[in-house]
Structure 1
Amino acid sequence: MASLFFFVAKKEKGTLRPTQDYRELNKGTIKNAYPLLLILELLDKLKGAKVFMKLDLRNGYNNMWIKDGDQWKAAFKMNQGLFEPTVMFFGLSNSPATF
């Protein structure tokens, strides 16, 4: 099963961005859920901390590897052939929870 691949116009610039339609794949995906701490709990844990870190999360999804052997599940078809991504794309239902 391969997902459809197409281009969508960006509203602000009018340029095209590639996208995949993962609705069929997401229907059969077991959803991951990881509870997040409440903000007040996080602030309590940071009391007295002396070192803080700043992370650059830009393009973060593109740094999340798809497990070897599972790339075929996110495959998409183009005129040039069938492609299997090695990193997570937007639209996969477990991308936000994994990130």
Structure 2
Amino acid sequence: MKKKLEYELCATRLKALADPDRLRIVEQLFQGAMNVSELSEKLGEEIVKISHHLGVLRHAAVVQSRKQGRYVIYQLHPDVVACGKEATQNQTRRIDLGCCSFDLDRP
């Protein structure tokens, strides 16, 4: 049986992903690590909006960040990305939250 903390983390991640803009950010990050400016340009949104959403995703441990020079680079947290052989062959992008998982299918 899972511990209460595991369910709380899963619920926090689900709440963070329950926003269309944050799902768009996650979808972009499947293509690789990016900084806020790159995400802003690709998504056609203001930097401040992207930065806010990245903060929510980072707090929920959906993304992680690292400093690279004067930039902060964001990438999907390895604990939530499932990249099995089947997923790679089908080009499926799977988010695995521990308690549940879901696919972001390519159009």
Q: Same fold (TM over 0.5)?
A: no
The structure with more helix, counted as a fraction of residues: 2
Q: Calculate the TM-score normalised by the size of structure 2.
A: 0.22
Which protein shows a greater Rg?
1
User: Highest relative contact order (Cα 8 Å, sep 6+), 1 or 2?
Assistant: 1
Q: Calculate the TM-score normalised by the size of structure 1.
A: 0.23
